[in-house]
Chains A and B, each alone.
Chain A
């Protein structure tokens, strides 16, 4: 015999609830974690990290210093050629990062056409686009560890590099932790729940407490392993043909800048 309460049809009218921010946060965190889990997928040729880093910064600096269409055109051609040598997935990721920034810049600069400064309307969005694409190409081609190691050549203190290294490692650990908390919040937020914002504060607060404890545990572990407060640097790779090619391109870039950068 089925009891009476089991025979009644349960009506669950779904009421609108504000939970998009949970879903968006989950997606953002998943995207972040996936970037760390697939390092250096776009590897095309092996350029020594310090050279790759220095070349990228040089290109972005000269691009920023240049005062006209000619050098921007050269940079565009150079980046397009480098980009075309990559796989489709990498090209898509590079464009996904750089196109929105360029479009945003174009929108910001749009009123300046009325203002009479149309030059900034045509040059600055291109400059922003190429700078962002160059930086993204570097990140696609070099694994995180190498980029951090390459920073040594910019005379950054070793402490800074150690902190950066710790950051990237703990981003994954803390990111996974907060993802689990977001899943838990989503699972417990069925129906209308007006206390989600309070839970958000709880997530961030717990994340802070967790990071604090992790820091203390890591320091204890470092001391147990005879950490003396010194941070030795790693060895640099041997030079390859790709490095020489990168330096040749740098030389060409400087030459083009000197002859056409101001025009």
Chain B
């Protein structure tokens, strides 16, 4: 679910990141008010916790294993605001350390996984848990909340990717970023998430929640009661619709109306014409458009660098073998 850089246009990244700034600001304030005893350290340690949960392998049917996000679980455990900040920081670290998710796309990834998942998950959990006093009701709440919020986030990812062909085009008129329209991106994202990943995440959340309720029920976030509900519905609905808002604003400029949509269907043959795309990284050793000297220097430097890198990697392999032979 982590979107890397260059899948989305920088405009999409900027718009969604801008939408996240007030969320983070309010979340910071709310956490200070909600959890005065643990305060700031809880955010940091909660982020470390959510990072580790995302790294833990969960057994999957067929003997393989996968990762859970545990976003709804975190929201129920720490409260949705604290979970929002913790998950955002965990995502930033993942982008920096493992290249999971891009740095420009960080705001978008935070929107999907640190906003939609914890808030929708917590909202569904509260609706179900508040209406059933039993322990089973709470567990059903967290499982349902986890499953629905996880798939809602997957839908957001599918929409954000699927609107790219409409939003940004290259000089040749072809999509400059993610090339598939909504009709492809939605089923491609939703089928595996609805069938497998969402189920795993929900079962994982249910199991951990049941354990926590049994061992230390007091450690879970109690929430500030009923006044959250109305605003939550609006907030979450807006959240799920906001990627579509990007598309709507594009329409308002009048740049991509029916005409562009017609072109969208018709670009298949034009893309097959020769001249688009490039066959090698450095066509004819000269990067056209740049001053000729610079192009030649760049080509030569890259060639030499590739050789140096190859020799260094070979040296590493050779040293490793020698060490093994000595041992």
How many Å lie between the Cα of A105 and that of B180 in the bound state? 13
Kindly identify, within residues 258 to 312 of chain B, every residue whose CB is under 8 Å from any CB belonging to chain A: 267-272, 276-279, 281-283, 287-291, 294, 298-299, 301-302, 304-306, 308-309, 312
How many Å lie between the Cα of A101 and that of B105 in the bound state? 15
Please state if B313 and A122 are interface contacts (CB–CB under 8 Å): no
What residue of chain B has the Cβ atom nearest to residue A139's Cβ?
B96
Residues of A within 8 Å of B298, CB to CB, are 73-74, 77-78
Residue from A98, A117, A207 with most neighbouring chain B CB atoms (10 Å): A117
| B95 contacts A by Cβ under 8 Å | yes
Please state if B92 and A164 are interface contacts (CB–CB under 8 Å): yes
Residues of B within 8 Å of A192, CB to CB, are none
Given contacts A18-B59, A61-B104, A212-B42, whether A88 and B49 have CB atoms under 8 Å apart is: no
Tell me the number of A-to-B contacts counted with CB atoms below 8 Å.
Answer: 317
Residues of A within 8 Å of B180, CB to CB, are 111-112, 115
Please state if B271 and A116 are interface contacts (CB–CB under 8 Å): yes
How many Å lie between the Cα of A44 and that of B65 in the bound state? 38
Please state if A211 and B45 are interface contacts (CB–CB under 8 Å): yes
Please state if B219 and A109 are interface contacts (CB–CB under 8 Å): no
| B172 contacts A by Cβ under 8 Å | yes
What residue of chain B has the Cβ atom nearest to residue A32's Cβ?
B55
| A246 contacts B by Cβ under 8 Å | no
Number of interface residues of A (CB under 8 A): 107
Residues of A within 8 Å of B64, CB to CB, are 20
In whole Å, how far is B261's beta carbon from the nearest beta carbon of chain A? Answer: 16
Please state if B171 and A263 are interface contacts (CB–CB under 8 Å): yes
| A64 contacts B by Cβ under 8 Å | yes
| B186 contacts A by Cβ under 8 Å | no
Please state if A70 and B289 are interface contacts (CB–CB under 8 Å): yes
Given contacts A139-B96, A163-B43, A218-B45, whether A260 and B289 have CB atoms under 8 Å apart is: yes
Please state if A118 and B4 are interface contacts (CB–CB under 8 Å): no
How many Å lie between the Cα of A135 and that of B104 in the bound state? 11
Residue from A21, A29, A32 with most neighbouring chain B CB atoms (10 Å): A21
How many Å lie between the Cα of A159 and that of B44 in the bound state? 10
How many Å lie between the Cα of A126 and that of B6 in the bound state? 10
| A119 contacts B by Cβ under 8 Å | yes
Question: What 0/1 readout, one digit per residue, does chain A (162-182) give for beta carbons within 8 Å of chain B?
Answer: 111111111101110010000
Residue of B93, B104, B291 near A64 (CB, 8 A) is: B104
Kindly identify, within residues 150 to 203 of chain A, every residue whose CB is under 8 Å from any CB belonging to chain B: 157, 159-160, 162-171, 173-175, 178, 196-198, 200-203
29 examples of A-B residue contacts, CB within 8 angstroms: A20-B63, A24-B57, A24-B65, A25-B57, A32-B97, A69-B278, A80-B302, A92-B313, A105-B4, A112-B179, A118-B272, A119-B174, A124-B6, A131-B6, A132-B102, A163-B44, A164-B47, A164-B93, A166-B40, A166-B43, A168-B48, A169-B44, A202-B211, A208-B208, A215-B45, A219-B39, A219-B41, A256-B290, A260-B290
Going nearest first, the 4 A-B pairs with the smallest beta carbon separation are A166-B44, A116-B271, A201-B207, A80-B305
A residues at B contact (CB < 8 Å): 18, 20-22, 24-25, 28-29, 32, 35, 56-57, 60-61, 63-65, 67-70, 72-74, 76-78, 80-81, 83-84, 86-89, 91-92, 95, 97-98, 101, 105, 109, 111-112, 115-124, 126-128, 131-132, 135-136, 139, 147, 157, 159-160, 162-171, 173-175, 178, 196-198, 200-209, 211-212, 214-216, 218-219, 222, 256, 259-260, 262-263
